[in-house]
Amino acid sequence: MARPPDAVVLRRIESMGVRATERFWGLMPPDVAKRLRPRTARLGDAFLTLAAASDALRMNRVIGLGHEGLAREAMIDRIIAFYRAAKLRRFSIMVSPGPQAARISRWLLARGLIRRGGHSLLVRDGRRAVPPVRSEVRVVRAKRDHAEAILAIHERCFALPASRRNWSLAGLASPHHEQYLALVGSTPVAVGALQVDRGLAWIGGGATLTRWRRRGAHTALIAERLRRAARRGCRWVWVETAMPVPGRPAGSRRNLLRLGFEEVGVKPTFVWHER
């Protein structure tokens, strides 16, 4: 990396993630909302999501707390009260890299939250040339009629609940995302998404069907999205990926590092359980 991103860039990255999450929850169709009974809230610089009918930590989660320096200790108690009022037994807080990260972690531990894994924030200079990749697939930008094929891959790779299918389709139709497909012949075998916002690019939503792995699909999708981000003038490209765990595959992380991404921070997750 010619020059690592500074604190201002990291703050912009986190703000982009908060905006994207808020938009996605705003796309929830009425039939899905009727089942999940969602609530969202802004508290300082944090965004809170809640699904009263689910105990999934990704649904009941706080992101962005402190990324603009607006976190206060009393907010932790307000966050706990927000989820307890919905009678949820657990929720999670993802702590962003930034000047308040260590302080926020102490506040959470003092209230009995337990650290449980987290994500790595990887960033790449968008001006760097994308190296050639060897792959057995062809990558295309997805069209509207590819939505069912993309969702089918996500459902098989991530075990998405059928009850949230319409929400996923709404997200795929969002103009804020570009979707890409890796094809073997005419068969869709892998997918990936790109979002561009205020000179930054995010890549994510990557999934490859098991029988088509080890053919370079994931790497080819990363490379194509990097080239697209460069054409759109993005200075930085970022992605979040699970922190490495001994004994678990880490092919996604390896491919990202191989194509020039570097870890610039860790976002630990803290979990609150009803006692």
Q: What domains are there in the chain, each with its CATH number?
A: 7-120+267-273 (3.40.630), 128-234 (3.40.630.30)
Q: Is residue 97 very low, low, confident or very high in pLDDT (cuts 50, 70, 90)?
A: confident
Instruction: Encode 53-72: b = buried (16+ Cβ within 10 Å), e = exposed.
Output: ebeebebbbbbbbbbbeebe
pLDDT at 229 over 90: yes
Q: Is residue 218 a contact partner of residue 207, using CB atoms and an 8 Å limit?
A: no
- Interhelix angle 217-231/251-258, rounded to 10 degrees, is 40
pLDDT at 29 over 80: yes
60, 54, 83: which is closest to 161 by C-alpha? 54
Angle CA(103)–CA(43)–CA(275) in degrees, nearest 5?
70
**pTM > 0.85:** yes
Tokens of residue 160, six digits: 């998405």
Q: Is residue 249 very low, low, confident or very high in pLDDT (cuts 50, 70, 90)?
A: low
Q: What is the pLDDT of residue 242?
A: 87
121-146 pLDDT, tens digit per residue, is 999 999 999 999 999 999 999 999 99
Cα 197 to chain center, whole Å? 15
Strands (E), 20-163: 38-43, 46-51, 61-63, 90-94, 114-125, 138-141
165, 195, 157, 202: which is closest to 178 by C-alpha? 195
Sign of the dihedral defined by the CA atoms of residues 245, 249, 252, 255, in that order: positive
Mean pLDDT across 153-167: 93
Collapsing DSSP to helix, strand or coil, 109 comes out as helix
Q: What is the pLDDT of residue 2?
A: 58
Mean pLDDT across 4-24: 95
Q: What is the pLDDT of residue 202?
A: 98
108, 84, 85: which is closest to 96 by C-alpha? 108
Residue in the block written with tokens 């860039």: 9
Burial of 186 by CB count in 10 Å (0-12 exposed, 13-18 middle, 19+ buried)? exposed
Tokens of residue 74, six digits: 């009393």
On average, the pLDDT of the chain sits at 95
